[in-house]
Amino acid sequence: MMNFKILLIFFTTLFQLPSYTRNWKGSDTPGHCYATFDEFTGKQDFKIKLLTNKEPFNFKYSTTLTKGTLHLTIKSGSKVIFEKELTGSETNEFKIENSKGEKYKFTFAAKQAKGSFDIRY
């Protein structure tokens, strides 16, 4: 039984897709997050750092992708607020109601992506 567990761990680790990023340059400050990257594969989470609770806020994103795939997800707890597969150059802005003072995060999931993003809230 012990050998089976060791083999299971080994093969699970072996077949997971590696996460890596090459030439990531960016910043994450309250209200603004941006980055450029030459190759991004994996996931990156960012907490939305609001200055006031229980207030609606605008979420604005701008992305430029020249290679690969990039997927944006915004969540509050386990509830998905927004989800989009991003291609090429995209810009969008929308309001998020925050009457309950919830905590939010956004996640980028990428596969061999080259480009940039700029998030403001």
pLDDT tens-digit readout, 51-90: 778 889 999 999 999 999 999 999 999 999 999 999 999 9
> What percentage of residues in the chain have a pLDDT greater than 90?
74
Q: Are 93 and 60 in contact (CB under 8 A)?
A: yes
What's the pLDDT band for 9 if we cut at 50, 70, 90? low
The domain over range 22-120 is classified in CATH as 2.60.120.510: yes
Kindly report the pTM of this predicted structure: 0.81
Taking alpha carbons only, the member of 115, 13, 107 closest to residue 66 is: 115
